[in-house]
Amino acid sequence: MALEVCVKAAVGAPNVLGDCPFSQRVLLTLEEKSLPYKMHLINISDKPKWFLDINPGGKVPVLKIDGKWVPDSDIIVGLLEKKYPEPSLKTPPKFSSIGSKIFSTFVTFLTTKDSSDGPLLHELEALENHLKSHDGPFIAGEKVSAVDLSLAPKLYHLEVALGHFKSWSVPGSLTHVHNYMHALFSRHSFEMTKADEKYVIAGWAPKVHA
């Protein structure tokens, strides 16, 4: 029986997959594990009653597993790994926090007026140094793992939103980061689950102060 997952619908297009990186993380995990699933697109600005009934907090993603609706991408990914251990997407603990501050520094740079890209560059340089000093192409080696599936949507948002709103891109000198992003974005699972760039831009537009 297919799993059921509630994810964000696109801004202004309620029948199209939206731009939530946490929703995409769950969809990536389902795709990489080749698990069948039924997707419910939730219009965040007009949440249906049935959705609020099963999930009073109102946030996405939410996954139905063993007859129970479970929110929070961290918890969902952990449950999927436990229930469906093959293929394993476990990240060795020593690598699990790599890149963990990239998203917060990206959001600050994007949404705060007159903010500097210094903190974001610092985090991207740390990722570059890790990738340079370890076998890749992924954070834990040749196989993709949970840490990559968490970072991939965030790096996509970073690339699209900063390119559009700030004409900013990841420096060319960070060659390992560029290669890493290419390896992630070219996976079939990513192509199947990414939001169109225009919906990423529409999702961030209300939060941006140019």
Would you report the helix, strand and coil content of the chain in percent, each value rounded to 5? 50, 15, 35
The CA distance from 187 to 31, in Å, is 10
Active-site residue identified among 6, 7, 20, 77: 20
DSSP helix/strand/coil, 58: coil
Q: In whole angstroms, what is the distance from residue 198 CA to residue 190 CA?
A: 17
DSSP 94-142: GGTTTTTTHHHHHHHHHHSTT--SHHHHHHHHHHHHHHHHS--SBTTBS
Annotation marks residue 20 as catalytic: yes
- Amino acid identity of residue 177, one-letter, is V
Which amino acids are annotated catalytic?
20
